[in-house]
Amino acid sequence: MPFDALMPLAFIAAAIIVSFFIENYYIRVAAFAVLVVLAIICFAVIERRARNNNQELADKLINDHAESLAGYVNTLSIPTAITDVSGKILWYNPALFKLAGTNCEGNNIFKIFEALGKPVKDKIVTMRGKAYIRESIHSGLNGSDYVIYRFIDRDETVRTADLCDTVLSTVCHIQVDNYDDLRSSMGQGAHVRIDSKITEIVAAHAKALKAVHLRYDRDKYVCIFERRYLDAFSRGDFSILSEMRGLDTGIPALYPTLSIGIGIGQAPDLANKNALKALETALGRGGDQAVMKNDEGYKFYGGIQRGLEKRARTKVRMFSAALKNLMEQCSRVIIMGHTAPDMDCFGSALGISACARYIDKDAYIVIDHANPSIQNLTEELRKDPDYEKSIIFSHDAYAMMDEKTLLVIVDSLAKNYLQAPNLLRTSPVTAVIDHHVRGTGHIEDPTLLLHEPYASSAAEMVAEVIQYFADNIALKPIEAEALLSGITLDTKGFSFKTGVRTFEAAAFLRLMGADTMRIRQLFQDDLETFVARSKVAEKAHVTASGIAIAVCPADIRKPQLLAAQAADSLAGIRGVSSSFVLCEENGVIMISGRSLGSTNVQRILEKLGGGGHATIAGAQIHGKSMDEALHDLDAAIKEYENEVQQ
């Protein structure tokens, strides 16, 4: 027994002895009283010291497990006790006293709450006629073992995470996609009227959200509201998008559209950062949609409509001037596209190479694995003195890379689909040109970025860059033909995603010497490919909604090229709204998707990790069998159809 505990017993024993040996009554009574008082004081001091020790113990244990115990807002109202391994209560809070109805210290918790001694599978215990969630945290301190018990009332206890979901700030950035086109196409009075209506609609939705909103630029708004109102705002895939499209501008096929970026974070600055990234993604996906970003990733809403073509070329002109400035400062230019580059990718690379040649800079095009569709063109290029040593492998590019090397990436914004992803990581200066809808795995913060999801192809964008690069720049006929071939490929003969600027780019390339008959020869197939494509189409399955799905035979030559061509052919059949053709090459399953516009194949294949445009898209699936890929594709189609119906 500790020495402190023996002291009051010693005083009591002394009082008894004194009462026997002191004869004087008054002295005996006085001595006895003094000794008893001293014993009582010792008991009080020992009890107080024990309580202080237990309080220090509780403070240390609770501090050690602060993160685990901080999951609720009203923590003080949760009945809590700390016991030793036998169940003896060493410390408890007032909420436990209220629940137990008696002093608990020193008592056994299993005797006070008998339900704790019974095994339960779901941690739900009933005490005093009410159900509680039992939490027990085992801990050790100074060589002793302890247990922290908490009894959580599900009806009265609020989780911290739930409170965050309810009251923390959510930031929403809104941008009018085609503000400049509206202003340039409408009279001043009509534009003021539409501008006023746009502001009224934004203000009305902000009021419904009880939000603070501000117009901080001519085409940009920001709203801040509590997270509890987010579900109401997103209901119906953000009805504000359709309201905006319903505004009558008085000009056919011209109406305002919005891009909305919503950010969710644990702090306002993080929420705002996520909102800006979400807005950037919405714009990069063609606009007319909402994107929500939190710490876990992105969610996409809307985007059923195809993006409207932007007529202004301000961005291209500024990019071209900045690209020329970078090239003049660098020692060499390395150009890279996506894996298995097609004619659009390769033609764009040749266009950038022509820009570098104009200012006497060496340019190299990285190709590790060529697409069969560009094989004839690459062989012909090697006969040209300017390109004899310009087509290199990625390991050669690594050896050349230094701090004065400019890396230009064409026809891809997805960092995982580049010819050599590691080349991007080692590049100090990077410029990116792409027309695909932005996905979640995009290249972040390049030095220069020209991203136009409204453009038909990367070749169209590069053709415009060339026009602003220099007034007297000249293209070789083979470069002009490769660029025009890229436009022809991605537009399927000027049928898909073709705008005014597409034809203007084609006219410029024709002026630069592109031979249309030569281009037709580049797209010629051999008889074997033609027959194989027909067999794939013959075995296609067409769903009730008009979606054709086919699989290329396992032993076929050039499966990726064949899948793309078969998807084009199937989309041209009456009664087929869209088509998906799957093939397998080197253990990777590739899917080519095509649509006439009523089905957004990009949104379907995005669910499988792919991307592209509303009418032309693709995906690559690793580590799965063909049956599993077909099952996943079917599930993605059904999910998309449900989204459209809603």
Extract the tokens encoding 377: 């063109």
Say if residues 454 and 310 touch (Cβ distance below 8 Å).
Answer: yes
What is the CATH classification number for the domain harbouring 392? 3.90.1640.10
| Tokens 């699989």 belong to residue | 551
Query: For residue 117, what are the contacts with CB-CB under 8 A and spacing of at least 6?
Result: 110
Half-sphere exposure of 563 (CA within 13 A, CB side): 27
CA 135 – CA 123 distance, rounded (Å)? 8
What is the CATH classification number for the domain harbouring 631? 3.10.310.30
Does 343 fall in a domain? yes
Please report, for residues 48, 479, 506, the alpha-carbon distance to residue 485 in angstroms, rounded to integers and kept in the order given.
90, 10, 10
Residue-level pLDDT at 46: 60
Residues 120 and 256 occupy one common structural domain: no
Residues 408 and 516 occupy one common structural domain: yes
Does 444 fall in a domain? yes
Q: What are phi and psi of 12, to 5 degrees?
A: -65, -45
CA 371 – CA 482 distance, rounded (Å)? 14
- The sign of the torsion formed by the CA atoms of 67, 71, 73, 74 equals negative
Domain of 442 in residue numbering reads as 314-522
- Domain termination residue (choose one: 64, 90, 107): 64
Q: How far is CA 560 from the centre of its chain?
A: 28
- Domain termination residue (choose one: 497, 522, 547): 522
CA 92 – CA 108 distance, rounded (Å)? 12
Residues 556 and 577 occupy one common structural domain: yes
| H/E element, 528 | helix 527-538
Residue 418 gets which letter from DSSP? B
Residues 393 and 265 occupy one common structural domain: no
Residues 180 and 324 occupy one common structural domain: no
Query: How many structural domains comprise the chain?
Result: 5
Residues 444 and 533 occupy one common structural domain: no
CA 210 – CA 206 distance, rounded (Å)? 6
What is the CATH classification number for the domain harbouring 122? 3.30.450.20
Residues 435 and 349 occupy one common structural domain: yes
pLDDT digits (tens, 9 = 90+) for 401-422: 998 999 999 999 888 888 888 8
Does 20 fall in a domain? yes
Residue 159 gets which letter from DSSP? B
- Domain termination residue (choose one: 131, 158, 185): 158
Residues 336 and 374 occupy one common structural domain: yes
DSSP secondary structure string for all residues of 442-490: BPPS-SEEEE-TTSS-HHHHHHHHHHHH-TT----HHHHHHHHHHHHHH
Query: For residue 66, what are the contacts with CB-CB under 8 A and spacing of at least 6?
Result: none
Query: For residue 602, what are the contacts with CB-CB under 8 A and spacing of at least 6?
Result: 437, 593, 611, 612, 613, 614, 617
CA 598 – CA 315 distance, rounded (Å)? 30
Does 100 fall in a domain? yes
Say if residues 548 and 540 touch (Cβ distance below 8 Å).
Answer: yes
Residues 295 and 184 occupy one common structural domain: yes
Residue-level pLDDT at 16: 61
CA 21 – CA 26 distance, rounded (Å)? 13
Half-sphere exposure of 334 (CA within 13 A, CB side): 28
pLDDT digits (tens, 9 = 90+) for 519-565: 887 777 778 878 888 888 888 899 888 999 999 988 888 888 888 88
CA 282 – CA 241 distance, rounded (Å)? 12
Does 308 fall in a domain? no
CA 364 – CA 356 distance, rounded (Å)? 10
Does 307 fall in a domain? no
Residues 424 and 571 occupy one common structural domain: no
Residues 401 and 487 occupy one common structural domain: yes
Does 598 fall in a domain? yes
Residue-level pLDDT at 176: 93
Residue-level pLDDT at 1: 47
| Tokens 């599900």 belong to residue | 154
Planar angle of CA 521, 526, 530, nearest 5 degrees: 110
Report residues of the chain scoring pLDDT below 70. 1-32, 34-39, 42-54, 66-74, 119-122, 155-167, 235-237, 303-312, 370, 440, 646
Residues 506 and 435 occupy one common structural domain: yes
Does 309 fall in a domain? no
Closest CA to 614 of 634, 594, 637: 594
